[in-house]
Structure 1
Amino acid sequence: MFRTALRNVLAHKARLLMTTLAVMLGVAFVAGTMVFTSTLSDAYAKSAAKGFEGVDVVVRPDYSGGGEEFDPRAVPDLPEELLDRLRRVSGVESATGSVSGFAALADKDGDLVGEGWSTQGANYDAGPDGKKEDPRYDLRDGRAPTRSGEIALDSKTAERTGYGVGDTVRMSVDGPVRQEKVVGVFDTDDGGVAAGGTLVLFDTATAQEMFSQPGRYSEIVLTAADGVEQRELVERVEEVLPKQTLATTGEELADEQARMIEASMDGMRTGLLVFAGIALFVGIFIIANTFTMLVAQRTKELALLRAVGAARRQVTRSVLVEALVVGTVAALVGLLAGVGIGAVMRVLMGSFSTLPDGPLIVEPTTVVASLVVGIGVTVVAAWLPARRAAKVPPVAAMGSVHAPATTRGLVVRNTVGALLAGAGAALVLYATGLEDGEMPMGAGAGLLVIGVFVLTPLLSRPIIGAAAPVLRAFGVSGKLARLNAVRNPRRTAATAAALMIGLTLITGMTVIAGSVQKGVDKMAAEALEADYTVSMANYSPLSPEVEQTLGKEERVTALSPLRNSPSRIDGGYEPLTGVNGEALDELLELDFTQGSFAGLGGESVIVDTDTAKEHGWKVGSSFEVVYEDGERGELTVSGVYEGNEMIRGIMLDTATLDPHLEQVTSMQVMVKTADGASESVKSSLEEALGDNPAILVQDKKDLSESIAQMFTMMLNMLYGLLAMAVIVAVLGVVNTLAMSVFERSQEIGMLRAIGLDRRGTKRMVRLESLVISLFGGVLGIGLGVFFGWAAGELISGSLATYELVLPWGRMGVFLAMAALVGVLAALWPARRAARLNMLEAIKTE
């Protein structure tokens, strides 16, 4: 039986090719994903570990807290006195104070350098006497910065920008433009720089002024003397540390960094593997379809095996051995292709951003997972056809056909499908009314898709039958194509289901993305009366100088900052938002359920309805607040408004809030101008701010486009990933048609003999493929719209302005894409059918 199985594999190489390709693509995607993410994780981890070379102990503020009582005051940074004390600890060879923060650097064209969030600034610690070398940075050219107005650049940024010692550069830390002179260029193992970011060094006093406070550091790096272990040094250091500080070994920090990098890769890996899983799931239909047809074509052979003594288990085993061979070959080829895909993905990502150097990593788990997935999926998909093969009675050896599906079997299938689809639809509808309905909706969606798949043989006849009027226009070829498409509903269903799943996901995601975009646009238009919002490029805090500069502009008629500050109210944490109470009604359009903007000022505040409901407040309610600096105050509610994703929380006048802030900064500034939003006004505001690359000046259109760009990029990535499933679906259609042509060779020969020419034969196969593909497309788009609507009902609970948008244009494109799949998939089978020799085909058994 084993030899028989191998012989069958070799005898049906062409017929199993498409199955092998389908499995190979899915495995290649899995292997490529794992190779790519492992390679990135290893490169970043090694780069980070390199950055900790020479670091034995790091002392940092302890933000973990202690006890349940909330203290709104921030944990203090490390003082200069602590640095001096640590230098005197036995076993410490050197102690270096470090302070860092966001620092945006402009290139020679005025554009922001680096990757935005990785544009960092830090201090060069020259020691108490100003003559020590900082062991973290190796100066390649020039010298270290020693006073305000001087900086040193990392060598990679210097190479990218063309800056060198003696050049003057424009940069910004919190809004205002700074002119700095480059006095040095240095090498560093900093992971952010290795990933394409920038690092700018200032003298310690300047860095402290910008990123912390004079005389304070964000961390202190210690190097151990010879013979002193890192853990031993930590124990000595802990004896002199004050409260709210923490000492950690360099090894622990490197391990922590590696874990963080691995965790950050997990999301990407999971997302990519989901799409690989979809491709493999689609491939299951192709594999099951292929083996079903192979078993049907070998009914006489299998029955003869039974007649000469083969047991059912042996027949089942022979089919599964075929699947095992096919799956092993496909998995091995897919693994090799996956390594190539991983390398290509790394090169492609490297073209968009700078990645740290490192070898391609193929872990043992990648090899094992690829083989297990490829072989497992193939064998599992072939199990049902193998069972059917074993049930072929020996008496079937007298004929060449096996018993068709019984009426009872079809009734059972349709009943099960209807129950699954009904339960799935009911669960999805039930989930739309829940606050946290993601899990039940996901389960319902899975049941509904499975139910529809089970019902597709039943649905194929009426839906394909609806195309009869159109197919009649193609004469005999069209009529035969329709009859062939519904002749074997199970095969048609399995072929169409592969395309259905891909289009369901594509359509559903498109509906959700378009509807969310519309809701966000509507929310911005309704809530924002300001012409512009001004913020940092990485949305870090803005200096109050930005607000002051904008206030001096003649065209500006009203402006208000948005400041964030923690507070304690009723024993719990509540954020406060500082605004310009006098101008807020000109900048925001809020729906008040009680009160209005008029009372905002002094000790009066406005709150959103959710916060008011949580605390039981209404207009006139007073409450005690503990500010950021620990001082207490009493505030009174003068208005309650409907909050949204953009505007919510407790808002009070900046004149009340600012005295309690340790550092006065804004998250953004809203601006109203006399001439409204226009390119000239925007240009004048940007010019007033020094054409600063670190600052974003955005009107409503810009905000909408930035959000749309995010959704478009996300959708394009999803389309690209789901294209894998569509490619597998195309292979399924090709496979089905090719095998269908093979098993209908005698029939096609007879049609040719009674007058159907080659052109008519090609047209018949192409129309059959087109009808099957459009059938899958219609089901997929219909399910996608339903799931998009249902998911929108969940989203509307948190996004009040959510509005369902049906992308008719894109759905038309998706349907056209399904038709194109049918046309392309039929090219080879149609040509093969047209070239059959009539006499040889008629003699075929």
Structure 2
Amino acid sequence: MARSPLTSAVLAEARQRPTRLLLTGLAVVVATLFTAGTFMFADTLRKGLEMQASITPADAAVVVYGSDKPLDDKVVSTVRAVPGVAEVAPVTRSSIVVAKAGGTAEPGYWSLASDVGKGPLSRYSVVAGSAPAGPDQVAITDGTAKASGIAVGAKLSVSQYGARGSKDVTVTAVVKGKADYGSVLVAQPATVVALSGRDSWSQVDVAAAPGVSESALLSSVKSAAGDQLRVRTGVEQRAAEVKAQLSVVDVLFAVLAVFTGVALVAAALVVASTFRIVVAQRRRRTALMRCVGATRAQVLRSLLFEAALSGLVAGVVGVLAAVGLGYAGLAIAGRFTEDPLPPLQVSVPDLLLCVLLAMVVTVVAALSPAIGGTRVPPIAALGAAKVTDAGQARFVRRMVFAVLFAAVAVGLLFVPVSKNPFFSLALVACSGLMAFFALIAAGPVIMPLLAKLLGGLVRLVGGTPGRLAVGNALRVPKRTANTTTVLTLGVVLVTAVLVGMSSIAASSAERIASQYPAAVQIEASGGTGIATAAADKIRALPETGSFSLVSRGSVKVKGVDVYATGMDVAAYPPIANTTADEGALRNLVPGTIAISRSGAKDLGAKVGDVLPITGTGGQSVQAKVIAIYRGNGALGSAALHPSDFATVVPTAKPRVMLVDPASGVDKDKLKSAVRAALGSDSTLTIESPGDQKAEMEKILTTMTLVALGLVGMTVLVAVVGVAVTLSLSVVERTQENGLLRALGLTRGGMRATLAWEAVVFGACAAVLGLLLGGLYGALGVSSLGEFDVISIPYGQLAVVGGGLLLLTLVAAVGPARRSARTSPLQALATD
């Protein structure tokens, strides 16, 4: 088939001016890089988990695992006696309380794993020392040794959860193995049983004798084990372990896919805007082609062919950049870790799919501008203005769609709330998507109005360049709307993340403060209570200031089960002075009750009501409601005076001690004194809100950085869109800029004009993005139903707004320099 002359012209121009072809699809390059990087990251992470997740030894031919019948020592003996069995290794992992001998370290909950220590079924290899062999010997994993500083020869004090006694053990080895998450001890199976009190195993690994096949051994073990035990091959067990871990990757990939889609949508909007400029710049050439016989269909095909070619080039460049960055990233990461990293997983079909996706996105985005560029008759086009985006948008049609999308967005917010918080969050997300569509539809109408409003300050500050910049933005409303809308999308996402994380952090901090109102909180573990002697010892410490004992249990209020506390609130200022929704907590005396907000709602109670309180044994009291408070972890759903609580629950023992430091004593000193007074009593756990808050802040900071990294890709695409739009605008306005230079506008003034135009884009996006992002961030947090505090981080949002203006200015640097370099005479001679 003969090639179309128009197609040949497109290819010739691509060869002569390849940078312009790439410039049109530059946003697609960025989006494709992100897409291909997502595929490779997920595949590489999956490979890494495959290397780490399969913890069952390769020599385990058969595995006996969880079933209705306990896997006790009798099962192990039965399996060991099966013909063809070479070795049996019972496996378990328990929690245990660990401290350095002599109480020199604060007890913590560690994992205690069993291992045979040698042979093909051993899960750990010795790095230093010798494998534990006796009942008082343990090994420590390599990761734990690095984190804790404990070395071979150290003495540790270990005890069962809730037990009063402890036992000293010696660390004889540092071992290395999979699933090393830190705080892990390893010992012989018999030692694990003795230290943890477990009487069953989670799994029994079985090795085959030489010459015995896996299938034959499986059949023999199944016959001996009977129907009550589950048996499968080692291959099946390892595959199940890998599958369980890979579910994390699937969830992660689903999240990444959402942000990839957002980046591609942003890239499509940028392509539509830039391609519209390209079509406008070629109107005279297109008209000439129509005059010499080219049909509208031929012109349309040539434009779409150019779009496909641009998408192809952008896709290939993006994929190659992703592969290069992937190899470089793994090489750099390998310098900071001793563990082997998986090789970069490069899937050719996935990369080809990314290139195809880039082409499709580019062609779809260019379709509307291409069709619009072929509708003007040749003679009219020859005399038409070069800027086709000038003039007002079609108001009625756009506003109809905008109103419809906005109505759907608002309607979704009033859908009855589901008990599933993720469904509620999905409704808010869908509402935000509809609001964004409304913004796209109404953009050419709204953006000029906003630009005119904000342009007053730009005209005042920017002088002549500022006035020219605002005029340029106002006369091309579609282009201004498209460029600003993409920027707005990025700002909305960033703002929503910051508002959401700030609200979650504030709510979590409040929850921690209510859960741990004291500087130091001592809680009894298991079913034990706090002994009177222990309470008196802590109360008598010179470092102790405010002190309170708290009892907890279930009572019936108006016949409804309520989890209540017994506490002398009036004697403990940190809670007594807490602001309640109604009433005052300091008024809690015998014969009264304070109820949480949710408890009052369930009971239909209000301040002043007298409620019957009944205990498990039938004892009852009448209590008047003196306060309704917001959810408080320390008080539970209701709070009674200790005398009333003892009446309705006479068997209850104090479960918690709340201790604050005396005047002039810091929290750490109080904590050390409490630890020394309690000694090695592992039935009591010491907690501090500072520790919980620090851990919470660490987790939220990580989550925020990850989320900002993901939404940052959309911002990057948007900024690239600004640079591309301004670059093509410079080419489009060459003669106009030359005339301005001839009339006296300096090179600096020309650069300032482009910079102020970028500021107009950024300011419009910042205003809309901060408002919409703040709104939907708050709605998203509220929809989860778990967080009571909505926190707006005004300082961070101000940084976002200022940062956006700075990025748009950076995007304008290149186009501004190119515009200023062209001489007036050369510009005026350009056609």
> What is the TM-score normalised by the length of structure 2?
0.81
Q: Give the CA deviation at 1:86.
A: 2.0
Q: Could you list the per-position Cα deviations for residues 508-550 of structure 1 after superposition, in whole angstroms to 9, with x for gaps in the alignment?
A: 22222222333333344456533334699xxx98999999978
Does residue 1:53 correspond to 2:58, yes or no? yes
Separation in 2 of the partners of 1:278 and 1:514?
23
Find the partner of 1:209 among 180, 194, 201: 194
Aligned equivalent of 2:449: 462
On the 8 A contact 1:324/1:378 being kept in 2, the answer is yes
Q: Give the CA deviation at 1:820.
A: 0.8
Aligned equivalent of 1:85: 78
Does residue 1:474 correspond to 2:462, yes or no? yes
Alignment of 1:229-240 (within 5 A): 229-240=213-224
Q: Give the CA deviation at 1:140.
A: 6.1
Q: Give the CA deviation at 1:205.
A: 3.5
Change (3 A) 1:768 1:607: closer
Change (3 A) 1:409 1:736: closer
On the 8 A contact 2:330/2:344 being kept in 1, the answer is no
Q: Which stretch of the first structure deviates more once superposed, 723-732 or 580-589?
A: 580-589
Separation in 1 of the partners of 2:695 and 2:284?
64
Does residue 1:359 correspond to 2:343, yes or no? yes
Q: Could you list the per-position Cα deviations for residues 36-64 of structure 1 after superposition, in whole angstroms to 9, with x for gaps in the alignment?
A: 2211221221333364311122223337x
Change (3 A) 1:511 1:692: farther
On the 8 A contact 1:99/1:212 being kept in 2, the answer is no
SS in 2 for 1:220: strand
On the 8 A contact 2:147/2:182 being kept in 1, the answer is no
Q: Give the CA deviation at 1:174.
A: 4.8
Q: Give the CA deviation at 1:390.
A: 2.8
Aligned equivalent of 2:787: 799
On the 8 A contact 1:83/1:95 being kept in 2, the answer is yes
SS in 1 for 2:171: strand
Separation in 2 of the partners of 1:579 and 1:401?
79
Does residue 1:844 correspond to 2:830, yes or no? yes
Change (3 A) 1:28 1:744: same
Alignment of 1:332-731 (within 5 A): 332-343=316-327, 346=330, 356-396=340-380, 398-399=382-383, 401=385, 404=388, 410-431=394-415, 437-466=424-453, 467-526=455-514, 528-533=516-521, 552-553=537-538, 554=541, 644=631, 646=633, 671=659, 678-685=667-674, 698-731=687-720
Change (3 A) 1:428 1:178: farther
Aligned equivalent of 1:70: none
Aligned equivalent of 1:762: 751
Q: Give the CA deviation at 1:655.
A: 12
Q: Give the CA deviation at 1:357.
A: 3.3
On the 8 A contact 1:477/1:764 being kept in 2, the answer is yes
Q: Give the CA deviation at 1:288.
A: 1.0
On the 8 A contact 1:734/1:826 being kept in 2, the answer is yes
Task: Give, as a single letter, the amino acid of the residue that structure 2 aligns with 1:98.
Answer: V
Q: Which stretch of the first structure deviates more once superposed, 174-183 or 300-309?
A: 174-183
Q: Give the CA deviation at 1:788.
A: 2.3
Task: Give, as a single letter, the amino acid of the residue that structure 1 aligns with 2:81.
Answer: R
On the 8 A contact 2:723/2:815 being kept in 1, the answer is yes
Does residue 1:265 correspond to 2:233, yes or no? no
- Which has the higher relative contact order, 1 or 2, with Cα contacts under 8 A spaced 6 or more apart? 1
Aligned equivalent of 1:829: 815
Change (3 A) 1:346 1:338: same
SS in 2 for 1:181: strand
On the 8 A contact 2:465/2:749 being kept in 1, the answer is yes
Separation in 2 of the partners of 1:147 and 1:549?
35
On the 8 A contact 2:552/2:566 being kept in 1, the answer is no
SS in 2 for 1:146: coil
Q: Give the CA deviation at 1:107.
A: 11
Alignment of 1:86-125 (within 5 A): 86-102=79-95, 120-125=111-116
Separation in 2 of the partners of 1:692 and 1:502?
54
Q: Give the CA deviation at 1:769.
A: 1.5
Does residue 1:32 correspond to 2:37, yes or no? yes
Separation in 2 of the partners of 1:433 and 1:777?
31
Aligned equivalent of 1:145: 132
On the 8 A contact 1:745/1:842 being kept in 2, the answer is yes
On the 8 A contact 2:137/2:170 being kept in 1, the answer is yes
Q: Give the CA deviation at 1:432.
A: 8.5
Does residue 1:776 correspond to 2:765, yes or no? yes
Structure 2: tracts of 5 or more residues without a match = 1-5, 555-560
> What is the TM-score normalised by the length of structure 1?
0.79
| Alignment length (residue pairs) | 791
Change (3 A) 1:124 1:481: closer
Q: Give the CA deviation at 1:145.
A: 2.5
- Aligned-CA RMSD value: 4.9
Separation in 2 of the partners of 1:454 and 1:651?
55
Q: Give the CA deviation at 1:712.
A: 2.7
On the 8 A contact 2:46/2:246 being kept in 1, the answer is yes
Separation in 1 of the partners of 2:570 and 2:132?
44
On the 8 A contact 2:24/2:275 being kept in 1, the answer is no
Separation in 1 of the partners of 2:14 and 2:155?
72
Separation in 1 of the partners of 2:690 and 2:357?
47
Task: Give, as a single letter, the amino acid of the residue that structure 2 aligns with 1:494.
Answer: N
Separation in 2 of the partners of 1:198 and 1:220?
24
Task: Give, as a single letter, the amino acid of the residue that structure 1 aligns with 2:470.
Answer: R
Aligned equivalent of 1:180: 169
SS in 2 for 1:54: coil
Task: Give, as a single letter, the amino acid of the residue that structure 2 aligns with 1:745.
Answer: T
Separation in 1 of the partners of 2:160 and 2:323?
42
SS in 2 for 1:777: helix
Q: Give the CA deviation at 1:256.
A: 1.0
Separation in 2 of the partners of 1:547 and 1:99?
37
On the 8 A contact 2:389/2:478 being kept in 1, the answer is no
Task: Give, as a single letter, the amino acid of the residue that structure 2 aligns with 1:123.
Answer: S
